[in-house]
Structures are given as C-alpha cells and as structure tokens.
Structure 1
Amino acid sequence: MKNLAQHRSGGLYRHRIVVRKRIYLLLSVVLISTITALLLLLEESHSSGLMLWLIDLVVESIAFGGYLAITLLMILDGACIPIPSEIILAFSGFLIWSGRLDVWTTVLSGSLGSLLGSLIAYVIGLKFGREFIERYGCYLMLSRKTLDTIENWFKRYGKVIILVSRFIPGLRTAVSIPAGIGRMPIYSFVIFTVLGSTLWNCLLIYLGVKLRENWIVIGALIGKLEIPIVLTLLLALGYVLLFHKES
C-alpha cells in the first residue's frame, strides 16, 4: 500500500509538472503572438517612409541594372533580407508590359536569385542553426529533441513544406533556415525551391503586367496578409509544442 501511494504521488507530481510546462508554453505563445501583432501593427503604421525608400531602391536598381539587378535583389529577398519580392517582380512585370524587359529572361533571373538566396539561408540554418539551438535553446524551451523533431518533419514532409511555403507571405523566405536545421536533402530542397519560387514569381510578374502603372498596389495588398498569417503560424507552433512535445 505504501509503495502504491508513493507511485500515485509520484505520478501526480509528474502530471503537475507537465501541466505547468504546458501552461508556461501557452502563456509564452500568447505573449509572443501579442508582441508580434503589436510590432507588426506599429511597423505598418510607420513604414510608409521605409516602403517608399524600398520602392525607389528597387525601381532605380532595375532601371539601371536590368536582369542582373533583378537577380541580385531576389538573392537578398531569398536570404531573408527585407527586400520584398512583390515589389521587385511586380515592377518587372510593368517593365515587361512597357516592352523594356523580356518575360522569360525576367522569370529566369528572378528564379535564379530566389534559389541562390534560399541556398544562403539554408546553409545558415545547416551550419549555425543547430549549434544555436544546442547552445541557447534551453532559454527558449528548445532542446535536442526539438532538433530531432524538425529533422523528422523535413524528412517526412519537407517537399510539401518547401513547395507550399513559397506562396505564403512571411514564411516564403524564412522556411529555408529550418530546412537547413532539419538537414533536408539539398537536391530535394533545390528542386522544390525552384518549382515553388518559379510559380510564385510568375504570378507576381503576371500581376505586374496586368496592373501596369498600378503595379505598386501588389505589395500593399500582400503586406496586409502578413499579420494574420504570422499569428496563425505562431498559434500553430504553440499547438504543436503544447500537445506533441511530450509524445
């Protein structure tokens, strides 16, 4: 009876620890989501000057450098540097409509830049992401098991994750880093990055052609989707941490 009571007491204690961890994780996700939403809203309300500067940078760069500028700008975008592809390719579509650029050369230039930039982010995740989590992950409630989980995800679903994420604002470029952390096979990463990025690039170029002088609205429309998408992804991550971490 004494052993049974001790066993029940130990089980109850472990259950309380698990519940406490999940409460902490839930509060962390809610706090991070709230802070992220506030920062995104603040950025949106004060970003008109920055956006105008980015538009001027893109317009002047492509007007001067043509296809090479498109490739270089898309490399920056793919490497998670905030030069929105919506601006780059929508303006390129406008230039195609005006007869200053060729459509297929533009698609090739944009897709090449997307691939090279994504490879840079992939290598960063591969070389430094795992070490960062192993060294500092304990402060973020991440562990070696987290690395194993990410690696298993990309082994099982990596192709779908990479392909689908290329169409999601806020995730389109960032996904390359966890792909590197998860050690996704490089050939699969390249194939599905090229496929997804090319389809996305063609869509933006097509919209730029159709909108003509109004190409600039594309960036504003897609930018408004970032807040709900980022919050949804954070809540989805919180769900995974809460209900699958212990399994």
Structure 2
Amino acid sequence: MDQINLLWHQLTDSETIIRSGLLVITLIVFAENGLFFAFFLPGDYLLFLTGVFGGTGVLKEPLSQLLLSIFGAAVIGSLVGYLTGRFFGKSIENRPDSLLFKKKNLDSTRDFFDKYGVMALVISRFLPIVRTFTPILAGIIKMSWFTFVGLNLLGGFLWVGILVTSGYYLGHEFPWIINYVQYIILFFLGITTFTIIRGYFKLKK
C-alpha cells in the first residue's frame, strides 16, 4: 500500500514531475491528453509550472524547446485518444466502471460536445477530465480526420502557448515565485473546480 501511495504521489505531484526533467513532463502530458485511464494526471498547472521552472532556470531547456516538446506531446496524445475512440469506441462505452474509468466522465464530455460542437476540441483543452475524453469522443462519433487534426493543432497551440509562455515569463521576472508553488496549484485547482461545477449546473439546467 505504501508503494502505491508513493507512486500516486509521484504521478500527481507536479513539482516532482517537473524536477524529473522534460522527458517525464512530455510523457505525462501525452498520457493526460488521450489515454482514458490517465485523466487524473496534472495538466494546466503542470504546464504553467513547467514554464515557471524554465523561467527561473531550474529547467535548463530554452523556452522554444519546452513549447515544441509539450505541444508535440499534447497533439500526439489527443491523436491517440481520437484513434482509440474511432477503432475501440464501442468497447470503451460498454466497459464497466473501475478505479481508472468512470462512464459518467464520458457522458459529461458528450454533453459538453453537444453544447459546443467541434469547437469543444479547442475549449476542452483548458478543462481537466473533459480534455482527456473529448478526443476519444471525437473518434467515437467519427469526426472528419481533417477537422480533428486542424482543431487538435489549434487547441494544443493555444493551451501550451498560453500556459507555458506565461509561466516562463512570470518565473523569469519574479524568480522568487518558485517558493510559492503550492499556492499556484491551489489557484489553478480553484479555477478548475469552479469551472467544472458551473458547467455541470448549466448543463443540468
């Protein structure tokens, strides 16, 4: 049990992930963007803190390398999610609930998709859980390949560009901010929780 708790902490602690290096960061981003069992992994604040750690010099890679690596991981991850939904959609929809899969996550993503249409692929980049399941659902409904690729690139560009770049320049200008990582995480979690709850009640209404 202690080993499981340690693994869980390592997978969800963004500071631990970032200090492990860019390769680990890109693998986490790849998984969180398209593997249905990886929806719990950090996303928004991981990108922002990667920028912060890059701006303060903890991460040695230049901003351009951070952006390209994470952008590539996000786009490829969503592509894997799309292909998973396209070829294994029925199996996913019919699988029973488990620790790493909840049917309600797919259902709430479907409601989100119904409301925003194809632009859900762009908007969902900034929403945890929904971000993981949106490309899968796009594959299930057989969205046009060219439409998906275009929106996947646009959403990935905006998500990675905004969060990593803003974090990078904030860390560069105010390096002391690295001592307040926990407050940054709480800030993002607060925004995320508010957005999800607000969206849930809107859809329910």
Task: Give the 3 Å change call, closer, same or farther, for CA 227–69 of structure 1 in structure 2.
Answer: closer
Residues 70 and 109 in structure 1, CA contact (< 8 A), matched pair in contact too: no
Q: In structure 2, how many angstroms separate the alpha carbons of the residues matched to 1:188 and 1:54?
A: 34
TM-score, normalised relative to structure 1: 0.58
Where does residue 105 of structure 1 map in the other structure?
65
Match among 73, 85, 89 for residue 28 of structure 2: 73
Q: In structure 1, how many angstroms separate the alpha carbons of the residues matched to 2:9 and 2:159?
A: 24
Larger radius of gyration: 1
1:194 aligns with 2:153: yes
Letter of the 1:127 counterpart = F
Task: Give the 3 Å change call, closer, same or farther, for CA 51–73 of structure 1 in structure 2.
Answer: closer
Note the residue ranges of structure 2 that are not aligned, 5 or more in a row.
1-7, 97-102
Written as runs of structure 1 = structure 2, the 5 A alignment for 1:176-195 is: 176-195=135-154
Where does residue 83 of structure 1 map in the other structure?
41
- Give 1:98 shift: 3.1
- Give 1:169 shift: 3.9
Written as runs of structure 1 = structure 2, the 5 A alignment for 1:31-180 is: 50=9, 54-62=13-21, 66=22, 68-80=23-35, 81=38, 82-99=40-57, 100-133=60-93, 157-158=117-118, 160-180=119-139
- Give 1:227 shift: 2.8
- Give 1:85 shift: 2.4
Taking only the aligned residue pairs, the percentage that are identical comes to 24
Letter of the 1:76 counterpart = A
Match among 177, 191, 194 for residue 214 of structure 1: 177
Q: In structure 2, how many angstroms separate the alpha carbons of the residues matched to 1:213 and 1:204?
A: 19
Task: Give the 3 Å change call, closer, same or farther, for CA 91–233 of structure 1 in structure 2.
Answer: closer
TM-score, normalised relative to structure 2: 0.68
Letter of the 1:73 counterpart = I
Letter of the 1:168 counterpart = L
Task: Give the 3 Å change call, closer, same or farther, for CA 132–236 of structure 1 in structure 2.
Answer: farther
- Give 1:225 shift: 2.5
How many residue pairs get matched? 174
Q: In structure 1, how many angstroms separate the alpha carbons of the residues matched to 2:95 and 2:11?
A: 40
Q: In structure 2, how many angstroms separate the alpha carbons of the residues matched to 1:114 and 1:103?
A: 16
Residues 54 and 63 in structure 2, CA contact (< 8 A), matched pair in contact too: yes
- Give 1:73 shift: 2.1
Q: In structure 2, how many angstroms separate the alpha carbons of the residues matched to 1:204 and 1:101?
A: 16
Q: In structure 2, how many angstroms separate the alpha carbons of the residues matched to 1:186 and 1:218?
A: 37
Letter of the 2:188 counterpart = I
1:175-215 deviations in whole A, cap 9, x for unaligned?
Answer: 11221121112222122112112211122113322044435
Letter of the 1:69 counterpart = V
1:4-23 deviations in whole A, cap 9, x for unaligned?
Answer: xxxxxxxxxxxxxxxxxxxx
Q: In structure 2, how many angstroms separate the alpha carbons of the residues matched to 1:53 and 1:131?
A: 27
Q: In structure 2, how many angstroms separate the alpha carbons of the residues matched to 1:127 and 1:213?
A: 48
- Give 1:87 shift: 3.9
Residues 95 and 101 in structure 1, CA contact (< 8 A), matched pair in contact too: no
- Give 1:132 shift: 4.8
Q: In structure 2, how many angstroms separate the alpha carbons of the residues matched to 1:161 and 1:53?
A: 25
